[in-house]
Chain A
Amino acid sequence: MAHPRKKIEIIVEAPLQKPVLDWLSSQGVKGWSLFPRVIGGGKHGERSGDDITRAFDNVMIVAVATEAVARAVLDNFHTRFADAVAVVYISDVEVSRADRF
């Protein structure tokens, strides 16, 4: 049986990895996965994923949560992490084990 949930994806500068994960947990997110050294480009130029300082590296955090939790994350992220180099979005997914998310 499939249950509707929201997928939260956050691409954020590497130095903020730990504060963002701690904050997600405090918002009720129960689990996460992370891709280190995510390559990409945009407003802040290109990010190569092998920066010597780590200040210009990105990571991507993926989590699945209930709609209420995901909305709160989406609405509050840029207030909590103002000035952070970050992209946050949520989308619809389905999970088979409702109690895990």
Chain B
Amino acid sequence: MTELLHLAAGNLLSPMILAFVLGAVAAALRSDLEIPEGAAKALAIYLMFAIGFKGGVAMHAASGLALAGAILAALALSLALPLIAFALLRGVWQQNRTNAAAIAAHYGSISIVTFVTAAEFLRSRDIPYEGYLVAMTAVMETPAILIGLLLAGQQKNPGMQARASERGALFREVLVNGSVMLLMGGFAIGWITGDAGLAKIRPFVADLFNGALCIFLLDMGLVAVRQGRAARSFPRALILFGLVMPPIGAACGFLAAAALGLSTGGAMLLAVLAASASYIAVPAAMRLALPSANPSLSVTLALAITFPFNVAIGLPLYLTLAQRLFGN
């Protein structure tokens, strides 16, 4: 317990988390501080390429077989997590089918920023993790969208039902979406070029990483609080779902990590992936494919409740659990 508190305090006092708090405070005080949209996008591109590349470099020595197993496990998690979330939302939180399905899709997908923050949390403590976790991140980004649509079932109003060709276009878009391309592309480049490649671009992808993450998290603090404020009539009972679902997801992540025989660091990161919820890839896809779902429910949950919970409390919690379960 003292170990957990120590980790939690160390996490809360890192520059990255304090930058997030700064953003949140600025938004709470209604400051005009903002990170220009183009700059935030550039930072996100940088973070995804760098984390993909570093994962690929770590993969250089590992076998392709381990990667194949990891990808299967990632697919299994993307299938299981939305089903669990959907069952809870229907059974415990009494949400209608459409909203439950849309929220479930967000929780089956992942938050790359949470993953990147967690990877940095491990690196600053010299805890290694398997490089292919990055590939799992990319794999888990989109299948939950499909599961969400299946869970929603047939839409009542035929006029608004996405037509077959539109759904086909949607799946193509989510499969080749920018985050997936960057993560997998960076991963491939890192895997191919290995340590020699890393030596060439280390100042950019490694040394600058934390500073960039600070600014990005500052923006996330602004966005999370503004989203929380914009959500009118958000049902209070649902807040609890945003806090309960991450530990449940983390438990599923630990199960998959045990099946894969991951290290402590790898298990912690897989728990983080399973605990996190998407607020970039999934919301727009849900507006397109499931327009009758209320987007302010799912986005507020993922962005204003689950994301801050995971980065502030989840990271030290999941690491402590991983150390207990998978050894130091």
Contact = CB atoms under 8 A, between A and B. Distances in A.
Interface of A: 13-16, 18-19, 37, 45-46, 50, 52-56, 79-84
8 contacts: A13-B287, A53-B299, A56-B230, A56-B295, A81-B159, A82-B157, A83-B160, A83-B291
B292 interface: yes
A55 B37 contact: no
Contacts of A81: 159-160, 291
A55 to B, nearest CB: 4
B283 interface: yes
Nearest to B295: A55
Contacts of B223: 52
Given A82-B159, A84-B291, A52 B40 contact: yes
Interface in B277-316: 279-280, 283-288, 291-292, 295, 299, 303
Contacts, number: 59
A82 B280 contact: no
Interface residues of B, number: 26
B236 interface: no
Contacts of B219: 52
B279 A52 contact: yes
Given A52-B223, A55-B287, A83-B160, 5 more contacts: A13-B287, A15-B285, A54-B284, A80-B159, A84-B160
B284 A14 contact: yes
A45 B233 CA distance: 12
